[in-house]
Amino acid sequence: EVQLVESGGGLVQPGGSLRLSCAASEFTFSDYWMSWVRQAPGKGLEWVANINKDGSGESYMDSVKGRFTISRDNARNSLYLEMSNVGVEDTSMYYCARWYYNEAWYFDLWGRGTRVTVSS
């Protein structure tokens, strides 16, 4: 089955670090741009970061620049999000998503998410 499965979420203290992972199955991972999208409790969806097919290019939302790093390992069909110096505002469900172009860009495949809670 074509799917994305996130892992690595949990409880982290303010100022701490966490690494999220996303495992891709049943598609050629290296053919696609990938993204992280988050949803804070009771809030809407919020794009976090994108990475291109070979990992040579990244983009981030302003509030995570310098703190989060998106990366990928195409040999392992995996996407990552390194989170550092986290704050309570980073508490969210984090979704891995495939960023696809077909006349326009859109997220055509999503995982179920991994929850990150920042609290002391």
Partner 1 sequence: DIQMTQSPSSLSAYVGDRVTITCRASQSIGRSLSWYQHKPGKAPKVLIYRTSSLQSGVPPRFSGSGSETDFTLTITNLQPEDFADYYCQQSSSTPETFGQGTRVEVK
CA distance 120 to 31: 40
DSSP state of 63: G
One-letter identity of residue 112: R
Closest approach of Cβ 13 to partner 1, in Å?
26
DSSP state of 99: E
> Residues 38-57: x/- map of binding to partner 1 (CB under 8 A)?
------xxxx--x-------
Which tokens belong to 68?
Answer: 């989060």
Closer of 2 and 13 to partner 1 (Cβ): 2
Closer of 16 and 55 to partner 1 (Cβ): 55
CA distance 25 to 84: 27
CA distance 58 to 36: 11
- Of residues 18, 10, 26, 42, the one with CA closest to residue 98: 26
> Residues 4-33: x/- map of binding to partner 1 (CB under 8 A)?
x-----------------------------
According to CB under 8 A, which one of 70, 86, 111, 114 is a site residue for partner 1? Answer: 111
According to CB under 8 A, which one of 8, 21, 52, 61 is a site residue for partner 1? Answer: 61
**Residues lying near partner 1 in the complex (CB under 8 A):** 4, 37, 44-47, 50, 59, 61-62, 95, 97, 102-108, 110-113
